[in-house]
Structures are given as structure tokens and as C-alpha cells.
Amino acid sequence: MPIFEVAGKQYEVDEDGFLENPEIWNQDVACDFASSEGVTELTESHWKVINYLRSYYLQFGIAPMIRKLCKETGFKLNEIYVMFPSGPAKGACKLAGLPKPTGCV
């Protein structure tokens, strides 16, 4: 099991760096993972996306579709890429402590 180490803390993650136990997530986790996804500072906008993802996940057990994410947070897709350079699936979901979205080719 790979370990992600930051600021003296250790997290169990999968090979893509997603939190292995999504239930241990808290705001500190988001801050700790930010640098690994090219996010330098978590602004209010970042939190809006993270909190939306988190609450959708807790309610439905999966990540929302991209369209829904944009609609509900009011951000355009390329604005989300400016905030989370590695994108909503890899960057934003990782910071929100969601398990890895099961994508395909």
C-alpha cells in the first residue's frame, strides 16, 4: 500500500494517490493533499467545490457527473481546471477525499 507523506503525517493511498479510507477525511486532509495536485492555496471557491463533492458523495456514494458539478457550484469547467489543474476527477475529488472515480478509456 503506497503511503503519502506530508508535514509529518502519513496517509494510506492507492497508486493514483487517492485516500484509501475516505471516511477519515477532514478539512486538514484537503489542505495536506493540495500540493500534490498543483493547488497552492485553498480559496473559498476551492472549498465550494470540495464541499459540494463531499456532500454529494456522502449522500449518493459516488461522484456527481461533471455537468452537475458545474451547474450546482456555478463554475465553468475551465474555471474548475484553473482552480484544480489536474481536473475535477483527479484533483478536486482527491482533495475532497472521494475514492478514485472509476473512469475508463
Residues that bind other proteins (CB under 8 A): 15-16, 18, 38, 65-67, 77-78, 81, 85-90, 100-105
Nearest CB to other proteins, comparing residues 7 and 104: 104
Nearest CB to other proteins, comparing residues 8 and 105: 105
CB of 93 to other proteins, least distance (A): 8
The Cα–Cα gap between 19 and 24 comes to 9
AA identity, residue 55 = S
Angle at 92 between CA 89 and CA 96, to 5 degrees: 115
The Cα–Cα gap between 50 and 70 comes to 12
Nearest CB to other proteins, comparing residues 29 and 80: 80
Whether 104 sits among the annotated catalytic residues: the reply is yes
Distance of CA 33 to the CA centre of its chain: 8
CB of 66 to other proteins, least distance (A): 6
Catalytic positions? 104
